[in-house]
């Protein structure tokens, strides 16, 4: 008798899980629609970073350094580190060869949207407007967030007055000091 009931209970449990996931996805889509359907205060498109074409010497240098590190790891008996170094060097080479994507940025009353991702003001700590000495680089909106995977948003300001964006942002967030991080310096040093 218990064997006959088990498939029905399993079917009911699977149906409940599927139903709850369907309701959750519909709720998330509705929240996304509400966030994206509002009229943005500022909206523009910009490149993720300034793309520099890498020379063949740059790729040769990456290959030589990666090969030397892999050989040293194998000689010291650390095969896992050798695999990680090889995979990381391939990933860096592939990332360096592709151009910068164009993103859609929007500042809404509730937060900031970057493409299809929404960052509410409640999850942000502070902001700053960065202007660079190099005139070819656009000013950037720098935001520190509470989000673990994206703690720092750096958004190029294209086609809008940075002072207007500054005045709007200070209504929602406090201004904070934003220095270049070690990662920013490494990216600039190796021209990634």
Q: Are residues 117 and 150 in the same domain?
A: yes
Q: Are residues 46 and 139 in the same domain?
A: yes
Its domain, for residue 89, covers: 56-97
**Angle, vertex CA 172, rays to CA 50 and CA 121, nearest 5:** 70
Q: Specify whether the CB–CB gap between 152 and 181 falls below 8 A.
A: yes
**What percent of the chain stands above pLDDT 70?**
70
Q: Are residues 151 and 140 in the same domain?
A: yes
Per-residue confidence at 81, pLDDT binned at 50, 70, 90? very high
Q: Give me the pLDDT at residue 46, please.
A: 80
Give pLDDT tens digits for 17-68: 666 666 766 666 665 555 555 678 888 888 766 667 888 898 999 999 999 9
Q: Is pLDDT of 99 > 90?
A: no
How many separate domains does the chain show?
A: 3
Q: Is pLDDT of 1 > 50?
A: no
Give pLDDT tens digits for 2-16: 455 555 566 566 566
Contacts of 102 (CB under 8 A, 6+ apart): 45, 46, 47, 48
3-state secondary structure 104-136: EEEECCCEEEECCEEEEHHHEEEEEEECCCCCC
Give pLDDT tens digits for 159-187: 888 899 999 999 999 988 767 667 666 66
Instruction: Output 149-153 pairs: Cβ under 8 A, ≥24 positions apart.
Output: 150/119, 152/181, 153/112, 153/114, 153/119
We report the CATH number of the domain holding residue 162 as: 2.30.29
Q: Give me the pLDDT at residue 100, please.
A: 72
Q: Are residues 143 and 121 in the same domain?
A: yes
CA distance 107 to 186: 29
Contacts of 92 (CB under 8 A, 6+ apart): 62, 192
Q: Are residues 26 and 108 in the same domain?
A: no
Q: Are residues 61 and 151 in the same domain?
A: no
Q: Are residues 31 and 114 in the same domain?
A: no
Q: Are residues 45 and 136 in the same domain?
A: yes
| β-pair type (117-120, 111-114) | antiparallel
């Amino acid at each position: 008798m218990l064997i006959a009931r088990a498939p029905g209970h399993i079917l009911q449990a699977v149906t409940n899980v599927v139903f709850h996931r369907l309701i959750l996805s519909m709720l998330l889509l509705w929240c996304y629609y509400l966030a994206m359907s509002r009229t943005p205060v500022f909206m523009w498109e910009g490149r993720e970073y300034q793309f520099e074409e890498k020379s063949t010497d740059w790729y040769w240098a990456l290959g030589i350094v990666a090969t030397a590190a892999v050989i040293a790891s194998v000689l010291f008996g650390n095969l896992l580190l050798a695999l990680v170094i090889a995979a990381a060097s391939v990933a860096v080479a592939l990332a360096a060869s592709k151009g910068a994507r164009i993103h859609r940025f929007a500042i809404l009353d509730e937060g900031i949207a970057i493409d299809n991702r929404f960052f509410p003001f409640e999850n942000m700590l502070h902001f700053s407007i960065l202007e660079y000495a190099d005139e070819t680089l656009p000013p950037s909106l720098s935001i520190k967030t509470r989000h673990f995977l994206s703690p720092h948003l750096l958004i190029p300001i294209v086609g809008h007055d940075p002072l207007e964006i500054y005045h709007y942002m200070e209504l929602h967030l406090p201004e904070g000091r934003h220095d270049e991080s070690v990662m920013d310096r490494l990216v600039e040093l190796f021209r990634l």
